[in-house]
Amino acid sequence: MPIYEYVCSRCGAKFEKLTPLAEAHKTQPCEACGERAGERILSATSLGGSHSHGGSCGAGGSGFG
């Protein structure tokens, strides 16, 4: 089950929640105020992997031989 990041449209609190994929688009109860106003937001962890600079890909050569 993926972890999604939400922000409450009432109080502005941000929180993370393990949510089934089928439920991810629905508003979630806010952990701070309790209102069902948590809306999913795009988090940095959902934009791709955690690649460090200077790895084997890129300007350092082809990586062969």
Q: How is the chain split into domains, by residue range?
A: 3-46
Please report the pLDDT score of residue 42 as a whole number. Answer: 87
CATH top-level class of 3-46: mainly beta
Q: Are strands 14-18 and 38-41 parallel, antiparallel or unpaired?
A: unpaired
Encode pLDDT of 3-61 as tens digits.
Answer: 999 999 999 999 999 999 999 899 999 999 999 999 999 877 555 555 555 555 555 55
Query: What are the backbone angles phi and psi of residue 27, rounded to the nearest 5°?
Result: -65, 145
* Spatial CA neighbour of 30 closest among 21, 42, 17, 18: 17
Please report the pLDDT score of residue 11 as a whole number. Answer: 97
Please report the pLDDT score of residue 43 as a whole number. Answer: 76
